[in-house]
Amino acid sequence: MSKPRRLRALGFVALAIISAPVQAWGPQGHQAVGAIADQLIAGTPAGKNARKILGSSLQTASAWADCARAVELRNGQWLYTQTGVYADCRVFENPASEHALVDFVQRNASRCGGFSSSLQCRHKAYHFVDLPLQHPKYDPALPGTAPNDLVHAINACIVVLKGGASPAPFDIRGQREALRLLAHYVGDVHQPLHVGAIYLDEAGHPLDPATPQEAHDHGNAGGNQVQLEGKKLHALWDDVPDKIFKPLMTGPGATQARQVAATSGELSTWSAEWAGESTAQAAQVYAPLKLGKRTVTLGGAEWPATTAEPAYRLARAEMQQQQLVRGGARLAQILKALWP
């Protein structure tokens, strides 16, 4: 494994984000983060302001940013294309809400399609950052970061919620849109594979990319090209089983979240700190895996992985629960800082 190396050129930052995970936690994970935060701010000024802005709970709002992925450009027209497909999006499947989704995507994307995670479809890049595992501290000079990555997206939402103008390259309009996005992005930054990335050579050996081009050449889309038990590693970590989900939706989740230590420092530094923490967690995700040689199939390149079971499944469940609890606690912490 090479020694830590810093970014030598910033001009190719777009290349660092071309390969992206499809999404972070599944719907249950994001709902759990929102539900925990709802309970922690209930009856507080933060709770009253959030409800007034959203017209709904954080649990409901947490799906909005993923529902925006269903907006596509077809024959020159932006359309919401997945009506009736996803249960958590049905609340937004009415003319006014679909218009809001289309408007957000159109403002934040010039093209969607095969390169839907690139700068040409920016809103999809807002969901992730690909910090090399060798650098468990967010640094905007590192390959895998970008001006429109998840850390910057969270901070952009906070600026708008404070009443400021959306910082470039984001185009976030109004507190409702900002809070819907924030409720989702805070969940994203606590999914380890949405933040910490392992870069691999042809033999499956980890490396530390020195440039965005090297990161692009050796990326694996947040574990989507790593196959474990016949499934994408990223998908395994997205999936939150009922035995974790259901307790988090009620009292036990909020009880655990109240034990999460408050993040110190300026509000604008919190998302970077959480990203570094999640990168350290991602290193633990990959540590027990034995990675094989890269193969190319009709579905694209992939690296096979094996591990000891059931130890890995048990460790995964424990980390998922921990990260979802942290996500809910920290979403509430942001809102209480905004509206004490």
Residue with tokens 């690909």: 130
Q: What local confidence, expressed as pLDDT, does residue 299 receive?
A: 77
Confidence tier at 214 by pLDDT (50, 70, 90): very high
At 201, the pLDDT band (50, 70, 90 cuts) reads: very high
Question: What backbone torsions phi and psi does residue 303 show, to the nearest 5 degrees?
Answer: -115, 125
In 3D space, the residue among 80, 114, 270, 92 whose CA is nearest the CA of residue 177 turns out to be 92
CB burial string 127-149: b at 16+ within 10 A, e below = bbbbbbbbbbebeeebbbbbbbb
CB-neighbour burial class of residue 273 (10 A; exposed 0-12, middle 13-18, buried 19+): middle
Is the pLDDT confidence value at 277 over 80? Answer: yes
Average pLDDT over residues 210-234: 94
Q: In the predicted model, what is the mean pLDDT of residues 295-305?
A: 90
pLDDT at res. 73: 87
pLDDT over 60 at 332, yes or no: yes
Residue in the block written with tokens 């590693």: 233
- The pLDDT score that the predictor gives to residue 24 is 63
pLDDT in the model for residue 116 = 44
> What digits encode the pLDDT tens for the residues 87-124?
999 999 999 999 999 999 999 986 655 444 455 578 99
pLDDT tens digits, 12-29: 233 333 333 345 678 899
| 203, amino acid identity | A
pLDDT of residue 337: 98
Give the length of the chain: 340
Per residue in 182-194, pLDDT tens?
Answer: 999 999 999 999 9
Q: Which domains are seen in the chain, by residue range?
A: 13-338 (1.10.575.10)
| Mean pLDDT, the chain, integer | 90
Cis peptide before 169 (omega within 30 of 0): yes
Q: Before 132, cis peptide (omega within 30)?
A: no
124 vs 176, which has greater pLDDT?
Answer: 176
Calculate mean pLDDT across residues 208-232: 94
Does the N-terminal peptide bond of residue 241 adopt cis geometry, omega within 30 degrees of 0? no
